[in-house]
Amino acid sequence: MNKYLKAILSILVLVLLFVAQKYSPLLSSSNEEEKVASSVEEERAHENQSSKANDNPNGIILPIMGEQDGVLIEHEGFTLLFDTKTMCPRWVAWELTAEETRGKVSRSGVDFKPDDQVPEQYQVASWDYNGGHYGRGHMCPAGDMKWSQQAMQDCHYMTNICPQTAELNKTWWEHLERACRSWARQDGSVQIVCGPVFSDNPKRFGKKHRMAVPKGFYKVVLSLKEGREKAIGFYYTNDDAPQPMEDAVRSVDDIEQLTGIDFFSSLPDEQEDRLEAMTDLRSWDK
């Protein structure tokens, strides 16, 4: 190899070393940026998935249970978790606004019907209640769904129904339902969750589908009207005994202990603790 070729090769090596030193940090930086961008995209995807998982078209704070097994069902105006073991909802949740309480839709001609959002073997029918001691007790009441024909029809799905004694259904439970509508008009809106409470070995009832008979029912109500935020709970036994509303009052904390359900978990902790300890029924009539 002559001296000229050696000189050219030496110059090429020096050029290559210079390029490597100059652009290596840029290449490394580019790789790091790609890694960061990929990480950001993964985080966004995770957040979107979480958002969709928690998305609730009915605009309510969904309850949380230690054992959340069941069939989560969205209907017009309310959401529920149906328990295939008891053939009853574990909870039914909805928001009731002042405007909705002025609805004019009639329940006349609207029939109870099986809910095809649960597997066929769990589709309780209206005739399962025929000839028995217990009536079809709405959890989300028809009186709260008069703002929409679809909502009225949906609240007659049997997944929204529990075995309830006649006197509790038509008197004491009804009194509480009317009070909730009054509170919604007064405060602009309220959030409501209710459902059954069972003994360890509940008796069964039904023509074909054997529903567990609740020993009682709970309801919790939340108002977030600015400056007048409050919450309250109620518990009624599933019998024909007189049960004035003031005797049924409990704190939301009490109902959480009774049911194992966390009702308003998305509220700020301080606010949640304060509201869920309340038991002042008089504050709801101001």
Superfamily of domain 59-285 in the CATH hierarchy: Extracellular Endonuclease, subunit A (3.40.570.10)
Each domain of the chain, given as residue ranges in start order, spans 1-55, 59-285
* Count of alpha carbons within 13 angstroms of residue 165, beta-carbon side: 16
What would the mean pLDDT of 250-255 be, rounded to a whole number? 98
**Of the candidate ranges 39-48, 134-143, 148-157, 240-249, the one whose mean pLDDT is the lowest:** 39-48
What would the mean pLDDT of 232-236 be, rounded to a whole number? 98
Which residues are CB-neighbours of 275 under 8 A, at least 6 positions away?
222, 229, 230, 231, 252, 264, 267
Amino acid 81 reads L
Per-residue model confidence as pLDDT tens digits over 211-222: 999 999 999 999
Determine the Cα–Cα distance for residues 181 and 96; give it in Å rounded to an integer: 7
Q: What angle do CA 64, 235, 173 make, to 5 degrees?
A: 110
Give the residue, 6 or 99, on which the prediction is more confident.
99
What would the mean pLDDT of 129-149 be, rounded to a whole number? 95
Which residues are CB-neighbours of 283 under 8 A, at least 6 positions away?
230
Determine the Cα–Cα distance for residues 153 and 80; give it in Å rounded to an integer: 15
Reported residue count of the chain is: 286
Confidence of residue 189 (pLDDT cuts 50, 70, 90): very high
What pTM value is reported for the model? Answer: 0.80
Per-residue model confidence as pLDDT tens digits over 47-60: 333 333 345 666 68
Which DSSP category does 172 fall into?
A: I
Q: Report phi then psi at 88, rounded to 5.
A: -135, 160
Give the residue, 51 or 160, on which the prediction is more confident.
160
Per-residue model confidence as pLDDT tens digits over 70-92: 999 999 999 999 999 999 999 99
How many other CB atoms sit within 10 Å of the CB of residue 251?
18
**What tokens were used for 193?**
């969750």
**Of the candidate ranges 46-50, 139-143, 195-199, 279-283, the one whose mean pLDDT is the lowest:** 46-50
Amino acid 178 reads R
Per-residue model confidence as pLDDT tens digits over 13-31: 555 665 555 555 544 444 4
pLDDT of residue 3: 52
